[in-house]
Amino acid sequence: MILFKACKRCNGDMYDAVDIYGPYWECIQCGHMIDLPDERLAKAEAEGRALRAARKAARTQAPAKVPVPVKVAA
């Protein structure tokens, strides 16, 4: 897709492209580039946050209560 006159540097036309670093817009006239949010990166970061939260919860969780055997008088 092409965005006409969208470049903030030269008011040129920009097209979308993707490389190994993720998606971006690049100006045809001056080469100015704008990185776009990468969904893969956002997903990986969200998974990392969830994993760290789960580990922290597991560390701070109180130890499970073990039932104490009660001696019943016979």
Site residues, Zn ion (CB under 5 A): 7, 9-10, 12, 27, 29-30, 32
CB 28 to Zn ion: min, Å: 8
Q: In this complex, which beta carbon is closest to Zn ion, that of residue 9 or of residue 43?
A: 9
Tally Cβ neighbours within 10 Å of residue 27.
20
Cβ-based nearer residue to Zn ion, 7 or 25: 7
Tokens 């030269």 correspond to what residue?
10
> What's the residue count for the chain?
74
**7, 41, 40, 35: which is closest to 23 by C-alpha?**
35
Q: How far is the CB of 2 from Zn ion (least distance, A)?
A: 13
